[in-house]
Amino acid sequence: MLIRIKFAKEGTMKFIGHLDLIRNFQRVFKKADFPIAYSEGFNPHPIMSIGAPLSVGITSEAEYLDVKIKEDIDINYQIKNLDLHAPEGIKILDITVLPEKAKSAMALIDAAKYKITVNNITITEDMINNLMSKNNIIITKKNKKNVLKEIDIKPGIFNIALGEDGDLLLLIATGSRMNVKPEIVLDNLCKVNDIEYNKFDFKIHRQEIYYISDNKFLPLDKIL
């Protein structure tokens, strides 16, 4: 049986990369005596995957970990149990049982919502308009063969707006079909408006991960 664990990644945990996060979850499961299933073969490993790994430096209130379990679980108990054993900065929020033929998170994900808090500069509606009035927003990116390639990220920006505190709110393409990084959007926003900014002096927070169904953005644990 597959389940999807929703968790938050906060505080100093933002400095822990994807592979280390997975290793930490393995230890959480062991400590919590959680009935995770193992793969067969020469080197059995716990079956789990994260759909859209979060870059180092970004916090999140909605991460999803898919896990195969070998027996039924008491969901309310396991939320508390896993949370108890998780490192500080990882908060277990919810567990959803997936239907038998559910797509993996990785195959499902279309978009994610981010909040970027920038220090030292003020973002205005005009600045956003300057960016979005362009026909395309071209970035160069190395592809798998290590060749530089030009990509238009504008179709991947579903929504861009100013938040109440002057934060930049983004709903952008995420996942295997198209992937736009929030810091790249910020970078292009500043470039278009000729603004110098400190590459490390802003905070990015992921608020939700979505898949698109019938033209609607649905959170990853909202299973239809």
Partner 1 sequence: MDKKLKLTDDILLSVEKPARYLGNEINVVGKDINDIDIRFALCFPDVYEIGMSHVGLSILYDFLNKREDTFCERVFSPWDDLEKIMREKNIELFSLESQDDIKAFDFLGFTVQYEMSYTNILNTIDLSGMAVYSKDRSEDDPIVCAGGPCTYNPEPIADFIDFFYIGEAETTLPEILDLYKIHKNNGGTKEEFLIKLLDIEGVYVPKFYDVTYKENGEIKEFKPNHKNAKAKIKKQIVMDLTNAPYPSKPLVPLIQTVHDRVVLELFRGCARGCRFCQAGMIYRPLREKDVNVLKKQATELIKNTGHDEISLISLSSSDYTGLEELTNYLIDEFGNDKHVNLSLPSLRIDKFSLDIMSKVQELRKSSITFAPEAGSQRLRDVINKGITEEDILSGSSQAFKGGWTRVKLYFMLGLPTENYEDIEAIAKLGQDIVEEYYKLPKEVRKRKPQIVVSTSFFVPKAFTPFQWTAQDTYETFMEKQTFLNKKINKKSIKYNCHDAKTSMLEGVMARGDRKISKVIYSAWKNGATFDAWSEFFRFENWENAFEENDIDPLFYSSRERDFEEILPWDFIDTGVTKEFLYREYLRAKEGIVSENCIDSCMNCGAKSFGGGICYVD
Residues within the interface to partner 1 (CB under 8 A) = 10-13, 15-17, 19-20, 23-24, 26-31, 38, 41-44, 46, 56-57, 85, 87-89, 198-201, 203
- Pairing between β-strand 148-152 and β-strand 157-162 as defined by DSSP bridges: unpaired
Tell me if 110 sits within 8 A of 22, measured CB to CB: no
Tell me if 116 sits within 8 A of 182, measured CB to CB: yes
Q: Report the nearest approach of partner 1 to the CB of residue 71 (Å).
A: 11
User: Measured in Å, how far apart are the chain's first and last C-alpha atoms?
Assistant: 17
Phi and psi dihedrals of 155, rounded to 5? -60, -20
Choice between 23 and 80, CB closer to partner 1: 23
Choice between 202 and 217, CB closer to partner 1: 202
Q: Report the nearest approach of partner 1 to the CB of residue 182 (Å).
A: 14
Choice between 28 and 109, CB closer to partner 1: 28
Q: Report the nearest approach of partner 1 to the CB of residue 80 (Å).
A: 17
| 37: helix, strand or coil | coil
Q: Residues for the chain: how many in total?
A: 224
Residue whose structure tokens are 């005596």: 33
Choice between 38 and 155, CB closer to partner 1: 38
Q: Report the nearest approach of partner 1 to the CB of residue 197 (Å).
A: 11
Tell me if 25 sits within 8 A of 48, measured CB to CB: yes
